[in-house]
């Protein structure tokens, strides 16, 4: 229903494939606004503080408290930290409020980009990144681009504006020959903020010994904005290849409410707008499910209608 559902699915698959040698380890990172006395995430979270970009995290911990041989470092300074994120993240996210209510940000000018380098990684393994960012009260699109560069390069997008429930998942990055993966942060192509504000608040690093099965998905970079929805929302996604695309809205009883797309679509970015009044004026407030299907794969997203 959200990106975290994908994460739970990966854990389930890892358990199913354990006998075949599949292994998964998760590392949690909180990018903190101020000091070690504010917004610190406990319980085997790795905290970094904007008061000192030069300080890295050596031998960062996994979510079970075991020390790794890997390192975290800010290699392109952000503008600063921000304490205006989400204080009420969706409980299914797996990101505590201490991690979601602060972030690092960039903006137009001297600090238009920021970067984090993870080093010493195992060049034989695969690394996936689940990223959260939020800016409470923002109404315009502040889409942020996350570019991951290792032996391969992948890009994902997330709109942090008033976000409580969305993450972006970027999968199957392998380190370069030196064991490094760089996470570059900048404003996305749809960012409409006058100052170009873009954010990263927290992320989970998922290390696997085999390529994630989610790589078989032919849909990525799914974004719903705004969510929760008052009158209308915009859905955008990326198709890996040309396919028949079917997007349908269901209630929690499994009843079909509306079909947004049902046609053959070319590979690339797909965008559509859904309006509550035009589609179902009597639609009640509550939780709904968007089912997104191609010829080869299917994903679901949770939608909250006010």
pLDDT digits 0-9 by tens, 185-197? 999 988 999 999 9
Pairwise CA distance, residues 134 & 161, whole Å = 6
Token digits for 209?
Answer: 């010994």
Read off φ and ψ for residue 48, nearest 5 degrees. -120, 150
Judged by DSSP in three states, 6 sits in helix
Q: What is the pLDDT of residue 73?
A: 98
Q: Please write the tens of the pLDDT for every residue from 239-255.
A: 888 889 999 998 877 78
Pairwise CA distance, residues 203 & 177, whole Å = 23
Domain carrying residue 241: 218-305
Count up the domains in the chain and report the number: 2
Q: What is the pLDDT of residue 161?
A: 96
Boundary of a domain, candidates 214, 248, 267? 214
208 in the same domain as 224:
no
Distance spanning both ends of the chain, measured CA to CA? 18
Our CA angle for 121, 206, 289, nearest 5°, is 155
231 in the same domain as 185:
no
**Structure confidence at residue 256 as a pLDDT band (50, 70, 90):** confident
The neighbour count for residue 213, using CB atoms within 10 Å, is 16
Residue bearing the bigger pLDDT, 18 or 117: 117
Give the CATH number for residue 261. 2.60.40.3080
By CB atoms closer than 10 A (0-12, 13-18, 19+), residue 300 is: middle
Q: Model pTM greater than 0.75?
A: no
**Structure confidence at residue 39 as a pLDDT band (50, 70, 90):** confident
Q: Please write the tens of the pLDDT for every residue from 126-151.
A: 999 999 999 999 999 999 999 999 99
Boundary of a domain, candidates 176, 194, 214? 214
Residue bearing the bigger pLDDT, 226 or 120: 120
């Amino acid at each position: 229903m959200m990106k975290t559902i994908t994460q739970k699915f990966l854990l389930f698959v890892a358990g199913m494939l354990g006998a075949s040698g599949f292994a998964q380890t998760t590392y949690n990172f909180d990018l903190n606004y101020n000091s070690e006395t504010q917004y610190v995430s406990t319980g085997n979270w790795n905290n970094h503080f904007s008061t000192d970009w030069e300080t890295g995290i050596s031998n960062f911990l996994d979510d079970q408290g075991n020390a790794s041989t890997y390192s975290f470092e800010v290699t392109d300074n952000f503008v600063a930290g921000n304490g205006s994120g989400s204080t009420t993240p969706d409980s299914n996210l797996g990101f505590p409020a201490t991690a979601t209510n602060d972030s690092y940000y960039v903006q137009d000018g001297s600090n238009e980009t920021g970067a984090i380098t993870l080093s010493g990684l195992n060049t034989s393994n695969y690394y996936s990144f689940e990223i959260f960012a939020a800016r409470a009260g923002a109404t315009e699109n502040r889409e942020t681009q996350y570019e991951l560069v290792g032996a391969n390069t992948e890009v994902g997008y997330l709109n942090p504006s008033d976000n409580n429930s969305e993450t972006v998942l970027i999968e199957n990055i392998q380190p370069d020959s030196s064991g490094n993966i760089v996470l570059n942060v900048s404003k996305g192509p749809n960012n409409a903020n006058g100052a170009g504000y873009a954010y990263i608040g927290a992320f989970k690093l998922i290390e696997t010994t085999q390529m994630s099965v989610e790589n078989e998905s032919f849909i990525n970079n799914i974004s719903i904005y705004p969510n929760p929805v008052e009158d209308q929302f915009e859905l955008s996604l990326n198709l890996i290849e040309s396919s028949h695309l079917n997007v349908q809205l269901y209630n929690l009883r499994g009843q079909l409410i509306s079909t947004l797309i049902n046609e053959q679509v070319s590979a690339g970015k797909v965008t559509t707008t859904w309006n509550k009044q035009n589609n179902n004026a009597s639609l009640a407030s509550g939780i709904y499910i968007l089912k997104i299907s191609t010829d080869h794969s299917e994903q679901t997203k949770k939608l909250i209608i006010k």
